[in-house]
């Protein structure tokens, strides 16, 4: 009897996991289709903001934000923020003005390292793509993250997700206000 109960428990778990996985893959496929649709539109009104117009605190390299709107609806926001160690490029994609996808790239300046003295500084003329992440969202919840490389923020990854979601909402409001 215990063996039967054990087998049933495993089968239920496998069935649940499989159906959850299929639902997630279906949702991601839907997000990718919406992403393609957003990128195919070429008649956007562009809202361009620099530095203090959208940044709460000025960064070492400044910042640039471009919002892409059509018929008073924001579909995409592109940001490029210069930091002391490199650049964060982040694209926020919206459907019905809800974030559905965030594409994050962390480029760092090439590090100058010497075998005797160790880290000597950065070569600000040369970038290295250090980290890339794709955040798939549904109903304001994270569905999945696909990552390549290792972020300088690896120890703060949970906070990074919260930070990006908060920025998606904040930047949406800023762009909507500027579009009026």
Res 102 pLDDT > 90: yes
Contact criterion met (CB below 8 Å) for 127 and 107: yes
Q: What is the pLDDT of residues 77-88, one digit of tens each?
A: 999 998 888 889
Distance of CA 59 to the CA centre of its chain: 19
Per-residue pLDDT, 76: 97
Res 99 pLDDT > 90: yes
Task: Count each helix (H run) and each strand (E run) in the chain, helices first.
Answer: 2, 7
Distance of CA 172 to the CA centre of its chain: 14
Query: Cβ neighbours of residue 179 under 8 Å, at least 6 residues apart?
Result: 45, 47, 67, 69, 72, 74
pLDDT band for position 114 (50/70/90)? confident
Q: Which residue has the tokens 């649709």?
A: 37
Q: What is the pLDDT of residues 7-65, one digit of tens each?
A: 545 544 444 444 445 588 899 999 999 989 999 988 999 999 988 888 887 887 889 99
pTM higher than the cut 0.85: no
Q: What is the pLDDT of residues 115-170, one digit of tens each?
A: 888 877 777 778 788 899 999 999 888 899 999 988 776 666 667 788 888 999 99
Indicate the DSSP class of residue 73. E
């Amino acid at each position: 009897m215990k063996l039967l109960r054990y087998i049933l428990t495993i089968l239920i778990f496998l069935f649940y996991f499989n159906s959850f996985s299929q639902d997630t893959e279906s949702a991601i496929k839907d997000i990718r289709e919406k992403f393609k649709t957003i990128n195919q539109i070429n008649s956007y009104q562009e809202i361009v903001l620099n530095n203090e117009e959208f940044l709460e605190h000025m960064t070492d390299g400044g910042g640039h934000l471009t919002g892409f709107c059509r018929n008073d609806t924001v579909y995409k926001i592109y940001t490029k923020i210069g930091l002391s160690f490199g650049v964060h490029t982040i694209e926020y994609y919206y459907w019905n003005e809800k974030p559905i996808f965030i594409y994050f790239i962390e480029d760092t300046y090439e590090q100058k390292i010497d075998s005797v003295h160790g880290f000597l500084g950065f070569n600000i003329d040369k970038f290295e793509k250090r980290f890339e992440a794709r955040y798939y969202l549904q109903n304001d919840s994270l569905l999945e993250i696909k990552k390549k490389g290792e972020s300088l923020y690896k120890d703060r990854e949970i906070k990074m997700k919260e930070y990006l979601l908060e920025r998606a909402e904040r930047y949406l409001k800023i762009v909507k206000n500027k579009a009026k």
